[in-house]
Amino acid sequence: MATLRRALIAPLRDRWTVKIGNGPDLEVQGNILNFEYEIGEGRTKVAQVSKKWFRIADTYGVQIEPSQNDIVILAITVAIDMMR
């Protein structure tokens, strides 16, 4: 359904590209190690992932914009978590 790749050169922030088979490509940018990043389509924010909303270890929140595919966004978040 989708392919997730980390950018080879990202001097200031972590950057990932999500190639979706039947949809628009998405970009992931931010601090992946600290769970502070955004998922976007061009300049439009699709979702935000943040650990600062919670005080419990190994817990982070995912805020998904309306009319987005929740399953794809959550799958991207889980894949990034496993790949980091």
- The domain limits of the chain are 2-83
The amino acid occupying position 3 is T
Q: What is the mean pLDDT of the chain?
A: 87
User: What digits encode the pLDDT tens for the residues 9-33?
Assistant: 656 668 899 999 888 899 999 988 8
The answer to whether 47 and 64 have CB atoms below 8 angstroms apart is yes
What is the Cα–Cα distance from 54 to 6, expressed in whole angstroms? 26
3-state DSSP assignment of residue 42: coil
- Polymer length in residues for the chain: 84
| pLDDT number for residue 28 | 94
C-alpha distances (whole Å) from 18 to each of 1, 30, 52, 57, 58 are 10, 14, 24, 27, 24
